[in-house]
Amino acid sequence: MTRIIIDCDPGHDDMMAIMLASASDKIDLLGVTTVAGNQTGDKTFENALRILTLIKEEIPVARGADKPLLRELVTAPEFHGQSGLDGAELPEPGIKPLHIDAVDFIIDMLEESLEKIVLVPTGPLTNIAMVLLKNPDIKHKIERIVLMGGGMHDSNVTPAAEFNIYVDPEAAKIVFGSGVPITMVGLDVTNRALMSFEEIEGIVADNGVISSKVGPLLKFFANANKKIFGLNGAPIHDALAVAAVIDPTVVETKFLNVQVEVSSELTRGATVVDIYGATSNSPNVDVALEVDTPKFVHFMVDSIRKLDKKFA
């Protein structure tokens, strides 16, 4: 089993990432940490507790940064609603979170673990950058950072940038420049990790303990993406990062140089991917360029049905 920590800003697709990890017998989910992003730190933290309560995952949860390293927080209510998880009522938090900060939790887990750990950030990279700043030597305990973020050609929050990188570009610059092995699961593939309206209706029709919540939540997220981007469904961005840990063949990657723009306001947060080796910069990131969408959607549907069965 691959031992992972998910650092997230739930967020509909963050929820799917957590569920995919929980349902997989190839993943040992050591903990969940939260960061402000899709919504405020209060809301993403509460949403993580509600999700883990729903799937009865009694694992460590630690709260992280309420704002980026240097900049003001930008949230995404247009995609995730005022709660950060609009579309269905999730249970009141029933698990007790840790009383240490996410950064200290991640550092402690890495220090105490005999084996390396894979970090799966699916929100702004503030917490991960803080881990590397606070304890630079800890990076030799990180097996790989498999992050949802960035994009070579695709963007969403501005014409140049993807939301997670845009919100905290300085944090992303630190992470991308850390020397830790990184897989970037960006919009070029996650916009194609799409659950169609028909596939979502199938989840709604299952009407199980988990699918009766997940279905309406995915419908909300799909409607928001249709309204804003004209997509025919919900791009489950964050879950593709977890899927790439479970089965790396779900994406095709290329080892390329990636730099993060932090100076220009016009292109703030752009992930500049040197696809043709035009610069003298050495490759530093495995960039996901292709995705096996049918395999990914099968992962998602199979996971939700496994969780339904577990709680039937």
Show contacts with Ca ion in window 5-34 (CB under 5 A).
Answer: 9, 11, 14
Pairing mode, if any, of strands 271-274 and 251-260? antiparallel
7: contact with ligand RIB by CB under 6 A: no
Using only C-alpha atoms, the chain has a radius of gyration, in whole angstroms, of 18
237 is known as an active-site residue: yes
Interaction mask 219-238, ligand RIB, x per CB under 6 A: ------------------xx
Residue pair 183/146 in contact (Cβ under 8 Å)? The answer is yes
166 contact choice in ligand RIB, Ca ion, none (CB below 5 to 8 Å, kind-dependent): none
For helices 12-23 and 293-310, angle between their N-to-C axes, nearest 10 degrees: 70
Neighbours of 306 (CB within 10 A): 16
The one-letter amino acid code at 147 reads L
**Strands annotated E in the chain:** 2-8, 27-34, 61-63, 117-121, 142-148, 182-185, 194-196, 233-235, 251-260, 271-274, 285-291
11: contact with ligand RIB by CB under 6 A: yes
Stretch that binds Ca ion, among 102-110, 121-129, 199-207, 295-303 (CB under 5 A): 121-129
43 contact choice in Ca ion, ligand RIB, none (CB below 5 to 8 Å, kind-dependent): none
Among the options 80, 140, 153, 237, which is catalytic? Answer: 237
123: contact with Ca ion by CB under 5 A: yes
Contacts of 287 (CB under 8 A, 6+ apart): 152, 184, 186, 253, 254, 255, 256, 258, 273
Name beta bridge partners: 147. Answer: 184
162 contact choice in ligand RIB, Ca ion, none (CB below 5 to 8 Å, kind-dependent): ligand RIB
Residue 10 or 208: the one with the smaller Cβ distance to ligand RIB is: 10
173: contact with ligand RIB by CB under 6 A: no
| Contact residues for ligand RIB, defined by CB under 6 A | 9, 11, 13-14, 37-38, 122-123, 148, 156, 162-164, 237-238
Residues near Ca ion, by CB under 5 A: 9, 11, 14, 122-123, 238
Catalytic residues: 237
